[in-house]
Amino acid sequence: MKLFKQVRKLMIDKILIDFDKLDFEFNVQCSDDNKSDIATFTIYNLSETTKKALKKGQVVSLTAGYEELQGVIFNGVVEEVLHKRLDNDIATIIYATPNNYLYTNTIVNKQFKAGITARDILSLLSKEIPFKIDVKGLGKNTNYPNGKAFSNRLSNVIDVIAKDTNSRARLTNNTIEFTEKDKVYSSIIKLNATNGLVRCEKQDSKKDEKNEKKQEKEKYNLECLLIPIIQINQLLEIESYEYTGKLKVKELTYNATDINTFSVVATCEVVK
């Protein structure tokens, strides 16, 4: 991988913010659970015309990486736009999610027939909600002998089905993705000091509050250059002084501030 010349391009509706021409920063936080990804963009010294054109509900797309390795790392909609002075600059701060408002406010009122499976419910739901449902895998395809009824917010319905099927569900871009908890769905990316790995440190073991047992799987915190193909549930093969072996990404933050801060910070789980 040739990691030269940063790329930061932010498209909001029809407005393009390019780091080559205008200074901006971003922080995108993602996790492998049903919590929404959250992106924060800070853009400096926009024109008054552009500031007035930015509004809640507009579509957002962020492309980042390097000249020879770049990709879209966030798609969503604007949740809030603020303008304020930061030192000597006027900053525009934009908060965006994969459409958290629709996800939490879409109501599902539906009765499903006796004998239906969870996979069939998800297939039927996908035709009635404003999101695509991508079932990569389920821990178990739960059968409901007496049928299943929902009268709740979409986010709560997805939580229930994820628990019933022992699966993970997450909202990313415009898609609700279901995966098996311990299965990896990506190819391996090799990371070491020569191709972008900055640090890899073992996370302190935590005890369960109820039974005080140590968490089952070891976790590591790592930082690397902003490689856009590193995403949630990505399988990494690490070569470092602290750890050598395979890790799966559980949480990550894409972080870009000044020219020297352009990285991925991730919490990963050991894969045996």
DSSP 56-125: TT-EEEEEEEETTEEEEEEEEEEEEEEEEEETTEEEEEEEEESSHHHHHH-EEEEEE-TTEEHHHHHHHH
Taking 70 as the pLDDT cut, the residues of the chain under it are 1-3, 34, 206-216
CATH number belonging to domain 102-180: 3.55.50.30
CB 19 within 8 A of CB 8: yes
- Please give the pLDDT value at position 68: 87
Q: 6-98: which CATH topology?
A: Phage tail proteins - horseshoe like beta roll fold (2.30.300)
The C-alpha atoms of residue 271 and residue 184 are separated, in whole angstroms, by 9
Query: Which amino acid type is present at position 140?
Result: K
51-66 confidence digits (pLDDT tens): 999 999 999 999 999 9
Tell me the whole-structure pTM to 2 decimals.
0.84
Other C-beta atoms lying within 10 Å of the C-beta of residue 175: 14
Identify how many contiguous H helices and E strands the chain contains and give both numbers. Answer: 4, 20
Return the ∠ at Cα 103 (arms to 172 and 249), rounded to 5°.
Answer: 25
The Cβ of residue 208 has, within 10 Å, a number of other Cβ atoms equal to 10
